[in-house]
Amino acid sequence: MPTLARWTAIMAIMVLAGFGYALHFYQQHAYVSSFPPLHTDHHHAEHTEGEHAEHEDEHDDVQHEGTEHSTIMTSPLVKPLRSLEVENIPLVHLGWRLFNDPKLSSNGAVSCANCHHLDSHGSDPLPLSVGVGGLGERNSLTVFNVSNNHRFFWDGRALTLQDQMDGPVHHPKEMDSSWAEIVEYLSSSPEMEQAFAQANLDDIDEASVKLALTRFMEALITPPSDFDRYLLGDEQALTVAAKQGWQHFQELGCVVCHQGENIGGSMLQRFGYYNEDAIGTDLGRFNETGLESDRFVFRVPSLRNVAKTAPYFHDGTVTELEEAIRIMARVQLGIELDPLVVVELSAFLHSLNSQRPAILEVLENGG
């Protein structure tokens, strides 16, 4: 039988240990969101609208300052690209190396860059890309400006870039690998270990690999296009045809779905309201959710650099931009476009072309 004092000490240590464990448990499991707080006051419609109005006013003010008496057509739905300062160059460099590393795949031959060509426009000129297991199922989407999207993949099944990566890595037809294998490979390579160390990453694991790739893709913001310059007040940036095309783009209603900085890329929409015949056999989002309402639902793709990223649509069956424009008008708007309008729309879409992201030059020149 221990003495009273010893017993008290034992109990005190037990209690302290218990409290310590409880504190640790709390820190681990208490729910603290990593996202900004949700706006729950939207139902105060007036306030929200007021806020919006204010924002728009500000926007207008900015534009008005530089371009008084201008004829620039602005829209609250489309915004110019924000430029990005890359802060952590070593981390982005690591992401770039990983992106280009074919050893991440099971057969050591397929890197991310295989299907997302960094030297051109971030996607694949082939209708369907070739991975480890042969041809893929859907057309490759560009990785440029990808971080401005809210949803990823053609069916929008991923909500974050990190989740998106799981797709191509595990897909048997694409890289046919797993994070465990990738981590094992990276850990066994002294070169990569050094690169991780340079990027200030202590561990080589799924999270750090994803972080590096995410930071790299976030850095892939293209330089301003003609249209961006136009939106920012340069009236001369667009040709007359392009300006006409922009006019049509808004009036026809294209902008209802293709909006935001990326002019598309986030919303979901059913493909082929007016003509289901043109759709093909891909059921789209239905394959993921199984909901009847998701049949033929796809993500609205971004139109940035669209003139460069042929072929078009999820199955890459259309190679001509103007054909694609006509199809979109037919199946989504239920109208047959006048050829001139198609040309003008095409001119507008060409004004969305831009150079490769500047960071790539830096990285290719050795960081």
Partner 1 sequence: MAGKFSTLKMLLIFAISLCLLALGAADLKRRLAITYQSASVEIGHALLSERDRILAHQLDASVPALELSSSLVAIQLRAREAKQHLEGVIASSFGRLLFDEHQWHRIKQEFYDEAYLLLEEMENNTRLNVARTFLEHNIQNLLLAESGGEHTDVPMLTELFQQGAIETAEQNSQTLIRYVGLYNQLKQSQSDSNQIILGENLVRLIDENEHFWFDVVASSSSDVDLALALLLLMLFIYLLVDNRARLLLIGSTLAKLEQRTKEANAANEAKSLFLASMSHELRTPLNGVLGIAQVMASGECSAKQQREYLDVILESGNHLMSILNDILDFSKVEQNRLELEEVPFTLKALLAPIHSTFSSLVEEKHLALQFNVDVDDQYCYLGDAARLRQVVYNLLSNAIKFTERGEVHFSVSSGMMVGNKRALNFVIKDSGIGIPKDRLDSIFDPFVQAEGSTTRRFGGTGLGLAIVRRLIMMMNGEISVTSEPGVGSEFRFSVALPELPKEQLQQRSLDIQVLPQDLSILVVEDNRVNAMVMTKFCQRLGHRCSVVENGRLALEVLAERGFDVIIMDNHMPEMNGIDATRAIRQQLGLDTLIFACTADVFEQARDEFIDAGANHILTKPLQEAAFSEALALFSDRLPNNQDLPEPPTTTAQEPPQLTPANDSLADEQIFADNDALDDDEVRVESDAFDSGLLVDSGVLVDSEEQVESQVSEQANASDDNEPLPEDQLTWQVLMDIADQEADIALELAEAIVTSFDEYLGQLQPAFEQRDWELLHRIAHSIKGSAGNFALDYLSHCASEVVDAAISEALTEPQLQAFIALVERNRQVAQGLIDQHRQ
Which residues of the chain form contacts with partner 1 (CB under 8 A)? 1-4, 7-8, 11-12, 14-15, 18-19, 21-22, 25-26, 28-35, 37-43, 45, 48-49, 52, 76-77, 150-151, 159-160, 253, 256-257, 259-260, 266-270, 273-274, 289, 291, 293-294, 297, 332-335
Least gap, CB of 197 to partner 1 (angstroms): 30
Q: Looking at beta carbons only, is 232 or 257 nearer to partner 1? A: 257
Q: Which residues pair with 130 in a beta bridge?
A: 135
What radius of gyration do the chain's Cα atoms show?
A: 25
Q: Looking at beta carbons only, is 111 or 302 nearer to partner 1? A: 302
User: Residue 108 region, left (φ>0) first, then alpha (ψ -120 to 50), else beta?
Assistant: left
Task: List the beta strands (DSSP E) in the chain.
Answer: 130-131, 134-135, 268-270, 297-299
Of the candidates 139, 202, 209, the one whose C-alpha atom is nearest the C-alpha of residue 181 is 209
Helix (H, G, I), strand (E, B) or coil at 299: strand
CB 217 within 8 A of CB 143: yes
Least gap, CB of 351 to partner 1 (angstroms): 21
Q: Looking at beta carbons only, is 128 or 328 nearer to partner 1? A: 328
Least gap, CB of 58 to partner 1 (angstroms): 17
Q: Looking at beta carbons only, is 85 or 292 nearer to partner 1? A: 292
* CA distance readout (Å), 263 to 116, 250, 354, 364: 20, 12, 14, 28
Sign of CA dihedral 71, 74, 79, 85: positive
- Reply yes or no on whether 174 is catalytic: yes
CA 281 and chain centroid, separation: 25
Sign of CA dihedral 43, 47, 51, 53: positive
Least gap, CB of 330 to partner 1 (angstroms): 12
Least gap, CB of 31 to partner 1 (angstroms): 4
Structure-token match 């979109």, residue found: 328
The catalytic residue among 174, 218, 261, 344 is 174
Q: Looking at beta carbons only, is 103 or 151 nearer to partner 1? A: 151
Question: Annotated active-site positions, please?
Answer: 174
